[in-house]
Structure 1
Amino acid sequence: MTQTTLTRRRLLGTAAMLAGAATLPKMALAADPIKVAGIYTVPVEQQWVSRIHKAAETAQARGDIEYTFTENVANTDYARVMREYAEAGNTLIIGEVFGAEQEAREVAADYPDVAFLMGSSFKEDAALPNFAVFDNYIQDAAYLSGIIAGAMTESGNIGMVGGFPIPEVNRLMHAFMAGAAEMKPDITFQVSFIGSWFDPPKAKETAFAMIENGADLLYAERFGVSDAAQEKGILAIGNVIDTQADYPETVVASAIWHFEPTLDAAIAAVKAGEFKAADYGVYSFMKEGGSSLAPLGTFEGKVPQEALDLVEQRTKEIKDGAFVTEINDEEPKSS
């Protein structure tokens, strides 16, 4: 998945034909389940996509939607799959278009009666009213996990392995680094990106190199990093999902993404005939219930009380608006 070059001007040009529209027409009675299709470029087991998939399955279990999905779709094939699902009568199509931004928006322009809710590095376009965007803005939880990390590292050297240096990864890394630095101001970071969303062996090898270079705690933005930490007997901080059950002596804490508020808001908007171009990223904020810090579980009693007190204080401040976690989308660098 690589980021396609895209400009605001090109997006506006693509969707100019829809400029006068405001919202989708009413397409379903509130009590009726709507047809929803998911299109994913990686396996649904991959941590980021797994949260979308889980939320969709939850909505289906409630009877709100009828859900189908396709995984492992190549970026070059993404537009074709979008068209097939649109032609099949799906009312809402969800997925992630980071590597197919322009093509995806062109498809959406051809199906104005279908709602599209897509993970994107770009913002919504009012000229394309049926295409809404989202992102995992879980910087609040990432910041809190950084506080835990700063308290648990002994060497003050943390390794961070990411997929690609795109905004939704960068902002989490920066938030994590800010939390860690709040506990240990002189902390240092090793930052590396593996150029893949799902390559556990490569992530593991990258993590091994960081451990050789002095890291005693790893930020596991990708699968494979916690495996390296476990093998070398050091600690790790998870991202998006809670993997402590798989690494009970390794993963101290994790920043969890809850996609349910995002998807539920889109479903409600579609059913009310009010779906429109919007940025659904706000539903990932902690105050909206879109993110949280995983329970310490096996590390209960092992984290310094000073860190726990600060986590509790900041959690309260984040939820009531007294503290705002900085959103920094720039590529993070090693210290």
Structure 2
Amino acid sequence: MPWTAVLQNYPDAASAVVALPTYPLFCAAMRLPLRLLHIGAHQKMLGTLAGASVVVVGTGLTALTACLTKYSLLAALGDGPPSMRPAADVILEDAQGLAKILLIAQVFLGTHPRRLCPSHLHHPGAFAQGSLPAGIRYKTASEARLLDRLGHRHGCHTCGTRFQKSFVGDHQPPRSFNLPDMRFFPQCRPCSNSQGGLTSGKVIGVRLMRSHHWSRGFDWHYWGPSAIGLLAAPLFYNSDAVAPTATTVPYLLDPEHYAKLTALGTETARSFGIDPLEAKERVQDRAAEQLSELEEQARAWRDQLIDKGRWPAKTTGQTLRALLKCYLQKVTLFAIMTFYRFLPEAGDRSALDNLELEFKAKSLEIAALWKEL
């Protein structure tokens, strides 16, 4: 099945695949400013607020990315010109509904907001889920085995990595603080080496904050809720707000919607000092020119196919340039037809309908030639 057919038949799945990495990438990017601001997972109030802000903005960007992708696919591959509704309205309406679904999924299935913040070397880290009672002395052999088991299950409590043969027993709070109730947390060797400079005073400022290991971006808590929300989103869409309905020809040809769009187009045109009838004639003439060029190009390709039987190797570059030119003409024609729909009087429909039929016929002809190539 051609990729264009896959994208056209499954726009929701295609937009979900494109938008899925948005949330984990945004979370990873936000850890740098959080490090600079010294906002870490150990701060219950500030860390929770910062993490919640990252969740809200990240889900909003994910929803917006999905809706932009979906709308673009349907506008380019749908059975009609792009919607007459302002694109921003369609995208924002869909994005708001999708963001709510993603946010609910993150609340119930995602991780605690504080775990999105970097870890502080003076405190249990963002991945501190298991620990052992600790004394002044270092870990025993049995404690080492238990810490390795906790480390392979939950990762280093500071950066989260699980790719360690064995884990170091990290005293929290650090022994240099001489505080009671210390506990052992599993820690990887690089984080332990960074923490070793605490007593010498070499680790100060931003170096006290440790970002998460890159492998934790693949955790279920980051991409799982987004995947469920993106795939479940079509069940909650409003049919009047969703892009597929707005970009199809039957929607545009519906008398009620057509009357509203015509009134809006006429009013908008006159507000800019444009005569709708004159603009309609100009656009119609331009569309006719584009159609004739498209028809001439298609006829030339068909004649060459008949004469040659196949495309010679030396004309491959010419073929690609011709196909690119044809594609650009199709895009231009989409824009012309969109503007043409925006202006005509409500009762004048025959020219527009004929234009659409001719355009569809030429599109099918070009698609057939493409398959033969």
Using the size of structure 1 for normalisation, the TM-score is 0.21
**Bigger Rg over Cα:** 2
**Structure whose residues are more often strand by fraction:** 1
**Structure whose residues are more often helix by fraction:** 2
